[in-house]
Chains A and B, each alone.
Chain A
Amino acid sequence: MKKIVIDPITRIEGHMAVETFLEGGKVKEAKSSGTLFRGFEIILKNRDPRDAARITQRICGVCPAIHAYTSALCLDDAFAIKDKIPHNARVIRNLILGSNFLQSHILHFYHLSIPDYVDLGKVVGKVAPFTPAYEGDFRLSDEVNAHLATHYLQALDIRRICQEMLAVFGGKMPHNVGIIAGGATLIPSVDRINDFKGKLKEIRDFVDNAVLPDVLTVAKAYRDYFEIGKGCGSFLSYGGFVLDEGRFLKSGIVNSDRQFEELDPENIAEQVKHSWYADSESGKNPSLEETIPSPEKEGSYSFIKSPRYKEKVYEVGPLARLMVNYFTRQEEITRVAEPLLKELGLQIEEVPSVMGRHLSRAVECKVLVEAMSTWVEELVPGEPVYTEVEIPEEGEGYGLAEAPRGSCGHWIKITDKKIARYQVITPTAWNASPRDDKGVPGPIEQALIGTEIKDEGNPFEVVRIVRAFDPCLACAVHLIDTKGKDLGKYRIA
């Protein structure tokens, strides 16, 4: 079997390597591997529980806001105040998280993904960091190619403005200080509201005039990528953006037979048979689980664990949210998604794929700029944003929310007013997970398997599939195997 190793995979968050084994020009086996461990769950122990909303943000600088958000939900739960969060605070939290979604999605499409579809070197010249790069499969006409390259540069400004919009209530970005257990820190003023709105308008124009048309342009030129990287076909969402009643983006699961089911968090468990962790912890719900590394364990090849729902593999992320909200007929989503599907001549069943994941992100950008324009008007100037918290002697809680990259969960146990246990399951742990106890590969691995690699010297298909998931490896990864494993370099053997 031929082997292609790509290490490092760039234009993602964190450190990642991918190994694929080819037979007859097709991927027969695939392994994704993270290459950095920082041990957040260990670092969090014995700290003041409130600090978790600050420290967990440092898991990922590209989308830290979701960790502040999920952690705050988790702490609100453990402090028994989750029904007492003031309306203003709930709105501010959503505006902060929404800003992060927009920056993350725009960054992902233009700066992390477009270099795989648009020949930037042709426009800006063969200069670093646009060269070296894979060669060959650039299909856009010179004119369209140049147009999208201009948007690459314009999007640098727009994503910056997303960060500035976040900072209006978040104080700074990356790593906001505005979301805390009990609510938020800043009472909104008319001035701040206007500042936020002005920025949102500019972003909204860009979404309408660039993001949506550009994604369609790329999708039409690379139509075959609706057939590539289909993945596991089952989708899960915790539900995103807490409203006074329920959630804006619905929670639930859609199985490969397209049946919708309500979500019950009790059914989430992490398996570790192929991960470097003690088997005694396999199959446990995160509220009970300890992280016990076991780097010598036979048959393991990753330190990412395998989160599973009812012991089955699920993809999370914008595509999963699109599927869940489409099948539950969430109107804000279908209204945006349906015309786009029509223009591409696609049925919803045909969306799961590399291009479908990019399309889902564009849908979400549009849905969010519209929703946030409404939410910001719900803020009441001068009204409180905070409910006093009291740290209990003993307590437990969890928070589930949706990150730009998918479902994010935090679980806490408090003893003596301190953190006794903290577990995080990040979206990328779902998507980049290794084989589970039954030997079933994770979603990214499944998306790679069966793919035809046209040019082994420039394996575009592999990197396009991996990046379409927008993996965030710093989030997912727990250790690295340097012993004897050939994760070293990109080569063809």
Chain B
Amino acid sequence: MSEEYPVVWFQGAGCTGCSVSLLNSASLKFKDILLDEIVPGKKLNLRFHPTVMAGQGEMIINVLRDTKEEKKGEYILIVEGAVPTLNNGIFGAVGEKTILERVLELGKNAFITVAVGNCAAYGGIPAAKPNPTGCKSVKRVFEENGIDTLVVNLPGCPPHPDWMVGTLSVALRGLPLDLDEIGRPRLFYGKTIHENCERRAYFDKGKFAQKFGEEGCLYELGCKGPYTSADCPLREWNNGVNWVIGAGSPCLGCVEPEFPDNTSPFYRKLSWEEMKNEKNCN
């Protein structure tokens, strides 16, 4: 019998894109993640995931309640989406309670919390100016409510599936997570896009594309690669088919706390000072 780790995947103010990205996992496939051991002797038990679970309504709200009580201190909480906090969080609810209440009560009893996507990690798109619903990151609402459960941030809009599956595998193997100062595992977010970019030679030679489709570095077209830390250029996306800069688009900086307000306009060249001048972490 393999040891089972209960998982609750909770969705806040998001778009389901992180869930869809997990479904795109090509190293370990989604069905392996659901049904098989992901590291020797250990498997995940995905008790709650609104996009895939068979049940609905009260029966699944009971799953949340039971996991939180019976598996206290044992379950992995994964949060996708930001937490609306304006007017006590009335802008988002799941089964009678606000998203804020649910994230807090689930977070308090969790063994570890993984904030997937830029929204959960730093506020992301729903927290963009003027932040109409007062969205905040998971870490922030934990801090404000005295919850000290460890939060691992896996930003990205969405995050690469390998970053999610990889982080869970590192944790289940009992290896150190080695987080950077904004909560991201260095294993995946340790180097800038610019350091490993396939167009770097163009940058160094000063050959810049002036128009979409042209050869050259995309810096003049607005690339945020120099200010953005993730391993997209090495890993590439969707089973290695392509990636943002490979498709001729500037990097949008979606793994950074400054996304989207300070990494935009997406198609305008911004200096380091313009992007980093005002900390925009929600």
Residues of A within 8 A of B (CB): 5-11, 13-15, 35-39, 42-43, 46-48, 50-51, 54-55, 58-62, 64, 107, 111-112, 115, 120-121, 124, 127-134, 153, 156-157, 159-160, 163-164, 166-178, 180, 182-187, 195, 384-386, 388, 463, 474, 479-480, 482, 487-491
Q: Is the CB of B211 within 8 A of A388?
A: yes
Q: Is the CB of A58 within 8 A of B53?
A: no
Q: Which of B17, B58, B252 contacts A64 (CB 8 A)?
A: B17
B14 CB within 8 Å of chain A: yes
Q: Is the CB of A175 within 8 A of B52?
A: no
Q: Which of B13, B18, B237, B267 contacts A171 (CB 8 A)?
A: B237
User: Which of B46, B57, B61 has its CB near the most chain A CB atoms (within 10 A)?
Assistant: B57
Q: Is the CB of B212 within 8 A of A182?
A: yes
**What residue of chain A has the Cβ atom nearest to residue B247's Cβ?**
A171
Q: List 7 A-B contacts (CB under 8 A).
A: A38-B126, A43-B125, A51-B266, A51-B267, A58-B15, A133-B54, A482-B90
Given A48-B267, A153-B31 in contact, is the A169-B260 Cβ separation under 8 Å? no
Q: Is the CB of A174 within 8 A of B20?
A: yes
Shortest distance from the beta carbon of B225 to any chain A beta carbon, whole Å? 13
What residues of B have a CB within 8 angstroms of the CB of A134 in the complex?
55-56
Given A39-B132, A54-B252, A490-B58 in contact, is the A59-B266 Cβ separation under 8 Å? no
Shortest distance from the beta carbon of B236 to any chain A beta carbon, whole Å? 9
Q: Is the CB of B57 within 8 A of A38?
A: no
What residues of A have a CB within 8 angstroms of the CB of B51 in the complex?
10-11, 13, 112
**What residue of chain B has the Cβ atom nearest to residue A199's Cβ?**
B241
**What residue of chain A has the Cβ atom nearest to residue B135's Cβ?**
A38
Q: Is the CB of B242 within 8 A of A167?
A: yes
CB 8 Å contact bits of B28-52 with A (1 = contact, 0 = none): 0111001100000000011111111
A487, B135: Cα distance in complex, Å: 23
Q: Which of B17, B30, B95, B130 contacts A61 (CB 8 A)?
A: B17
B170 CB within 8 Å of chain A: no
CB 8 Å contact bits of B241-264 with A (1 = contact, 0 = none): 111111111001000000010001
Q: Which of B16, B132, B238 contacts A62 (CB 8 A)?
A: B16
**What residue of chain B has the Cβ atom nearest to residue A382's Cβ?**
B213
Shortest distance from the beta carbon of B265 to any chain A beta carbon, whole Å? 4
A166, B21: Cα distance in complex, Å: 13
**What residue of chain B has the Cβ atom nearest to residue A124's Cβ?**
B35
Q: Is the CB of A180 within 8 A of B212?
A: yes
Q: Is the CB of A489 within 8 A of B96?
A: yes
What residues of B have a CB within 8 angstroms of the CB of A51 in the complex?
260, 264-267
B26 CB within 8 Å of chain A: yes
B196 CB within 8 Å of chain A: no
Report how many A-B pairs have Cβ atoms within 8 Å: 268
Shortest distance from the beta carbon of A314 to any chain B beta carbon, whole Å? 26
What residues of A have a CB within 8 angstroms of the CB of B48 in the complex?
128-129
Given A132-B63, A156-B30, A164-B239 in contact, is the A54-B212 Cβ separation under 8 Å? no
B59 CB within 8 Å of chain A: yes
The interface residues of chain A, by DSSP majority, are classed as loop
Shortest distance from the beta carbon of B214 to any chain A beta carbon, whole Å? 9
**What residue of chain B has the Cβ atom nearest to residue A185's Cβ?**
B248
A490, B213: Cα distance in complex, Å: 53
Q: Is the CB of B50 within 8 A of A175?
A: no
Q: Is the CB of A127 within 8 A of B45?
A: yes
Shortest distance from the beta carbon of B102 to any chain A beta carbon, whole Å? 11
Shortest distance from the beta carbon of B35 to any chain A beta carbon, whole Å? 7
Shortest distance from the beta carbon of B21 to any chain A beta carbon, whole Å? 6
Shortest distance from the beta carbon of A187 to any chain B beta carbon, whole Å? 5
What residues of A have a CB within 8 angstroms of the CB of B244 in the complex?
171-172, 177
Q: Is the CB of A5 within 8 A of B57?
A: yes
Q: Is the CB of B46 within 8 A of A185?
A: no
**What residue of chain B has the Cβ atom nearest to residue A43's Cβ?**
B128
B149 CB within 8 Å of chain A: no
Shortest distance from the beta carbon of B160 to any chain A beta carbon, whole Å? 9
What residues of B have a CB within 8 angstroms of the CB of A128 in the complex?
45-48, 53, 63
B169 CB within 8 Å of chain A: no
A186, B213: Cα distance in complex, Å: 5
What residues of A have a CB within 8 angstroms of the CB of B249 in the complex?
171, 177-178, 180, 185
**What residue of chain B has the Cβ atom nearest to residue A119's Cβ?**
B54
Q: Is the CB of B241 within 8 A of A43?
A: no
A15, B94: Cα distance in complex, Å: 7
**What residue of chain B has the Cβ atom nearest to residue A120's Cβ?**
B54
**What residue of chain A has the Cβ atom nearest to residue B46's Cβ?**
A129
Shortest distance from the beta carbon of B205 to any chain A beta carbon, whole Å? 21
Q: Is the CB of B157 within 8 A of A175?
A: yes
B282 CB within 8 Å of chain A: no
A419, B72: Cα distance in complex, Å: 48
Interface residues of B in 54-83 (CB under 8 A from A): 54-61, 63
A177, B34: Cα distance in complex, Å: 30
Q: Which of B57, B95, B130 contacts A42 (CB 8 A)?
A: B130
User: Which of A61, A173, A479, A490 has its CB near the most chain B CB atoms (within 10 A)?
Assistant: A61
A sample of 9 more A-B contacts (CB under 8 A), given A58-B157, A61-B14, is A13-B16, A156-B29, A167-B237, A170-B242, A173-B24, A177-B249, A177-B252, A487-B93, A488-B96
**What residue of chain B has the Cβ atom nearest to residue A45's Cβ?**
B130
A205, B8: Cα distance in complex, Å: 35
What residues of A have a CB within 8 angstroms of the CB of B243 in the complex?
171-172
Q: Is the CB of B50 within 8 A of A8?
A: yes
Lowest 8 CB-CB distances: which A-B pairs, in order? A61-B17, A490-B57, A171-B247, A488-B96, A39-B132, A177-B249, A133-B54, A490-B58
